[in-house]
Amino acid sequence: MKGKTGASRSSKGSRALGSFGALLNKGAIPYIVSAALLILGTILVYLSPRSIPAFLLFLGAGALTYFLDMNRAVKLVAAVVVAVIIVPILGARNISYLEIIFQIAVFSALALGLNIVVGFSGILNFGYMAFYAVGAYLWGFFGSQQPYLLHAIPGTVPAGTPFFLAPDWFYLFLFAGIIVAAIVGLLLGLPVLRVRGDYLAIITLGFGEVVRQLLNNLDKPINLTNGPQGITPIQRPTMPNGLLALFNRLFEPLVGTPVTANQFYNIMFYLIAAIFVVLVIIVTHRFEDSKIGRAWAAIREDELAATAMGIPANRLKLEAFAVGASFAGAMGVLIAASRTFISPDSFSFLQSVSILTMVILGGIGSIPGVMIGAAVVILLNQQVLQSFSLFLAQLRQSDAVIPILNLHWKNLSNQLDPSKYQRLVFGIILIVMMIYRPMGILPATRRRRELKGDEARDEPQGPEDGADTNEADHG
């Protein structure tokens, strides 16, 4: 028998890893394995900050640590050490990795938000990026000079225009983003009261486009969004006093060079995103295992039966929209500040689709699954495909020949550039997934409760169970 408190988590882990996982999960093995991999990954990334395999090993070690059977406190400590110390140090040595981890964090939060709508309550939403855009433009507008440029010609900034708010309003706007996006979520949710299924999916698709077109065109009659050119510069919050100095005093020997303020901003935004992801995970998890979460699942399974059980389906769907949207709103505010530039292009339909891809690829309805989905999609997009393209480009410049085909790399078409075929690659991955693993990389599992009656299951089947199984064919 497994330990009482860890039972639900550990069984999930071993299931995900299959029989190999069972081997890994014996006694002290998981501690040794994950510590060894984490340290190895860290050292490799530290020594060769540009090596992609090393970086993937490092991320994989982190993910593996989550899934192995270990004391929760140990995992927690490991997570904090990795997130707060190791990642910033490694990130300072190669800022592009920090950027990728930052994006994984942001998109995890987005995917978790979409997962509430799509995964928990079963409503397909193609316009999720709209909420992200709402958050981004909220801070983009108030955190820049834009409020003073309402009557200026789009794209021009009269000299000496001040910023509208002090930069530290950013922190307040993180929460404002939650509220405003939730309200917009409710607005989008209103059609839910009238249509369902495919029709609703089409409406959400339309909504996403409407928001994007509004952002594109609201530079006239008064210039709210600065049109397709986007808003820039957007303020970042001021750096807390002495934090950079402290970081440099502690870690400069490890990083090698003193970290500049600009680099440290990246670390700071990464940390804010990480904190947010933790909050989002907690909130999502708590919702999942509550009356509201059960009602969402019931609506997803059978709306009519849910209604007959006394669940006000419309209200709960609106709540799902609002909660999901609120995560995106906060992330939007964060991304506006970290990029200091936003334009309508960042919130396209394809972006909504790629978040949906993360959810489906990772495992619809499953919290760790969705995060893995986010990591896989980002890594494929930003790292694997691009470096593969780079690799092909290098080969093209060499004199190498493809064996068997007897084709010179030089003659390989320039069109064959994997980073241009992101969508194709994702399409193929999704098709393969739908055939062989339709529930995603890490399928959602219902929480196993520690019921008194369940102890009877551990013993051989009782006579009562036997009687029931005879009738299995009836349904």
Partner 1 sequence: MAETDLILETKDVVKRFGGLTAVDKLSFSLEKGRIYSIIGPNGAGKTTFFNTLSGLSRPEEGEIRFEGRRIDGLRPERVMKLHMARTFQNIRLFGGMTVVENIMVGAYTRLRQNAVQTVLRTRAFKAEEKRAEARAEELMKYVGLEGIGNELAGSLPYGAQRRVEIARALASEPRLLLLDEPTAGMNPAETEEATGLVRRLRDELGITILLIEHDMRVVMSISERISVMDYGEKIAEGKPEEIASNPKVIEAYLGRRAAAASGGAQSARYSDAEESL
Binding site for partner 1 (CB under 8 A): 283, 286-287, 289-292, 294-295, 297-298, 300-302, 304-312, 319, 323, 446-449, 451-457, 462, 464-465, 467-472, 474-475
Q: Quick one: 230 or 329, whose CB is closer to partner 1?
A: 329
Identify whether the C-beta of residue 152 lies closer than 8 Å to the C-beta of residue 145.
Answer: no
Q: How far is the CB of 320 from partner 1 (least distance, A)?
A: 11
Q: How far is the CB of 104 from partner 1 (least distance, A)?
A: 24
Please give the backbone phi and psi of residue 366, each rounded to the nearest 5 degrees, phi first. Answer: -105, 125
Identify whether the C-beta of residue 89 lies closer than 8 Å to the C-beta of residue 340.
Answer: no
Number of Cβ atoms within 10 Å of the Cβ of 40: 14
The span from the CA of 184 to the CA of 230, in Å, is: 21
Q: Quick one: 29 or 305, whose CB is closer to partner 1?
A: 305
Q: How far is the CB of 138 from partner 1 (least distance, A)?
A: 22
Smallest Cα–Cα separation from 134: which of 250, 235, 218, 60? 218
Q: Quick one: 46 or 276, whose CB is closer to partner 1?
A: 276
Smallest Cα–Cα separation from 106: which of 124, 129, 85? 129
Q: Quick one: 261 or 308, whose CB is closer to partner 1?
A: 308
Identify whether the C-beta of residue 173 lies closer than 8 Å to the C-beta of residue 139.
Answer: yes
Q: How far is the CB of 471 from partner 1 (least distance, A)?
A: 5
Q: How far is the CB of 319 from partner 1 (least distance, A)?
A: 7
Residue 403 identity: P
Q: How far is the CB of 123 from partner 1 (least distance, A)?
A: 16
Q: Quick one: 26 or 449, whose CB is closer to partner 1?
A: 449
408 three-class SS: strand
Q: Quick one: 151 or 474, whose CB is closer to partner 1?
A: 474
Identify whether the C-beta of residue 295 lies closer than 8 Å to the C-beta of residue 316.
Answer: yes
CB neighbour list of residue 294: distance below 8 Å, 6 or more residues apart: none
Q: How far is the CB of 321 from partner 1 (least distance, A)?
A: 13
Q: Quick one: 12 or 212, whose CB is closer to partner 1?
A: 12
Burial of 137 (0-12, 13-18, 19+ CB in 10 A): buried
